[in-house]
Amino acid sequence: MSKISSSWRTPSSCFLLFALLLSLTPCSLSQTLSTGAASSGSSEGEAAETTPTFHASTRLVLVDVVVTDKSGKPVRGLTEKDFTILQDGKPQPISAFEAHVWRPLSAKLEKINLPPDQYTNFTEQGPNSAVNVVLLDVLNTPQQDQQYARKQMIQFLRELPPGQKVALFVLGTKLRMMQGFSGSSDRLTQAAESILSNTSPVLTTNSQYQDAVSDIAFLVDAAASAQGGPDSSLKARLISALDAQVTFQNDVRSRKTLDAIAALAGAVSGYSGRKNLFWLSGGFPFRLGPDFSNDPLLVPDNYGGAIRETAALLLAAQIAVYPIDVRGVQTTNVSASASTQMELSSATDQVSLAQKMRYNDYTDTKGTMDDIARETGGQAFIGNDIKNMMERAMEQGSTYYTIAFSPIVKKWDGEYHKI
CA dist 295 and 286 (Å) reads 8
Longest Cα–Cα distance of the chain, Å, equals 115
Which one is predicted more confidently, 123 or 21? Answer: 123
Distance CA 133, CA 276 (A): 6
Count CA within 13 A, CB hemisphere, residue 143.
10
pLDDT at 44: 54
The closest of 358, 363, 262 to 319, measured between CA atoms, is 262
**141 backbone dihedrals φ, ψ, rounded to 5°:** -125, 130
pLDDT at residue 66, rounded to an integer: 92
* pLDDT more than 90, % of the chain: 32
More confident residue, 145 or 51: 145
CA distances (Å), origin 306, targets 88, 179, 249, 302, 367: 26, 27, 18, 9, 20
pLDDT band of residue 60 (cuts 50, 70, 90) is: confident
Section 178-203 average pLDDT: 92
CB atoms < 10 A from the CB of 160, how many?
Answer: 20
* pLDDT score, position 170: 97
| 242 pLDDT more than 80 | yes
At position 82, the amino acid (one-letter code) is D
**CATH 3.40.50.2300 given to domain 131-397:** no
- Structure confidence by residue, pLDDT tens digits, 349-378: 444 434 444 444 445 677 788 888 988 889
- Distances, alpha carbon 77 to alpha carbons 80, 100, 246, 394, 416, in Å: 10, 10, 50, 18, 31
User: What integer pLDDT is reported at residue 116 of this predicted model?
Assistant: 86
Partnered with residue 325 across adjacent β-strands are 281, 382
- Bridge partners of 132, per DSSP, are 166, 276
Q: Residue 417's pLDDT is what? A: 79
Non-local CB neighbours of 54 within 8 Å, separated by 6+ positions: 23, 24, 25
Would the pLDDT of 178 be above 80?
A: yes
Q: Is 48 helix (H, G, I), strand (E, B) or coil?
A: coil
Q: What are phi and psi of 7, to 5 degrees?
A: -150, 155
| Contact of 28 with 51, CB cutoff 8 Å | yes
Q: How much is the CA Rg of the chain, to the nearest whole Å?
A: 28
Residues 399, 100 contacting (CB under 8 angstroms): yes
3-class SS of residue 235: helix
Residue 106 has pLDDT above 60, yes or no: no
209-240 per-position pLDDT tens digit: 888 888 888 888 888 777 766 666 888 888 88
- Euclidean distance between CA atoms 210 and 334, whole angstroms: 13
Tell me what the mean pLDDT of segment 112-138 comes to.
78
- Tell me if 280 sits within 8 A of 147, measured CB to CB: no
List all residues 6 or more positions away from 81 whose beta carbon is below 8 Å from its beta carbon: none
Query: What's the pLDDT tens digit per position in 5-47?
Result: 454 444 333 333 333 333 333 333 333 334 444 444 555 555 5
d(CA 125, CA 272): 9
Q: What percent of the chain has pLDDT over 70?
A: 70
Beta strands in 172-300 (DSSP E): 175-182, 275-281
Q: Which residue type, as a one-letter code, is found at position 180?
A: G
pTM: 0.74
Mean pLDDT within 379-390: 92
> What does pLDDT average to over the chain?
77
Q: Domain-by-domain residue ranges, the chain? A: 131-397
Say which residue, 244 or 191, is predicted with more confidence: 191
The CA–CA distances, whole Å, from 91 to 3, 6, 65, 78, 419 equal 14, 15, 17, 19, 10
